[in-house]
Structure 1
């Protein structure tokens, strides 16, 4: 059995397509909070409005990092998706953290990001462009 953490962009349902594609295989999936509003507002909701966006984001990031860092440490494989619409600094951080922990890393991104992500790609065990390719890799590992 593998434990796989699905890190990266939170603006699409890419995680669900990987999880559905691997149904019936012995894989445990872990994810960050992917309800964007819940992730952004957890700090305010717990400790109250800090009356400054920097501090509201700072508190939320510290709370969210408890989950993501714990799950990355627990995972055998970390899949990181870089989406096309937004800059995903959090995805780059998660990829770097996973690489520092010597986790096996699968990176998903479009061709046009090759140059920008060359260092992250260099640390990865696999670099792909789509979720079905990740499903194929995970199924191959389980066979």
Structure 2
């Protein structure tokens, strides 16, 4: 089938290698994956390191969030679809925010999380076009929407 090139933004948890796993599973698809800075310390400290230190943790975090938004907002806007993965190590408030932003922009949303998060994420899931339990399911969703191919 004919397929076009897609930009897919990968939002969500940064404590596992799910992005690499997804990229490998979808390596043969015409997709460019966009993503935030996934080094936790760099993401947390970028604002204060670049714009000047802050003694108040609120302003330290606010500067970092602002600088990170300069990267993430245009990527979400440019994306043809957004994948948001919720992991179990930490609550990913930023992932929920990215999911909401994608939904508000009308971006197709694929959410990934374990079954035990179903209740907590019911509103996010309701906004999603697909809710997957692992990255292999995400790769198959992308294969279908990008190329029109069902799993082999």
Q: Under TM normalisation by the shorter chain, which class is it?
A: over 0.9
**Residues in 2 aligned to 1:24 and 1:132: alpha-carbon distance in whole angstroms:** 14
Corresponding residue for 2:61? 57
Name the counterpart of 1:82. Answer: 86
Q: How far, CA to CA, are the matches of 1:34 and 1:19 in structure 2?
A: 15
- For structure 2, the 5+ residue unaligned runs are 148-152
Alpha-carbon distance in 2 for matches of 1:127, 1:103:
15
Quote how far apart the aligned CAs of 1:19 are: 0.8
> 1:71 is matched with which residue?
75
Runs of 4+ more than 6 Å apart: none
- The residue correspondences of 1:54-133 to structure 2 (distance < 5 A) are 54-133=58-137
How far off its partner does 1:115 sit? 0.8
| Alignment size in residue pairs | 143
Partner of 1:5: 9
1:24 Cα deviation from its structure 2 partner: 2.1
Alignment of 1:39 with 2:43, yes or no, is yes
TM-score with structure 1 length normalisation? Answer: 0.97
The C-alpha deviation readout for 1:78-128, integer Å capped at 9, x for no partner, is: 000000110110000000000000000000011111111111100100001
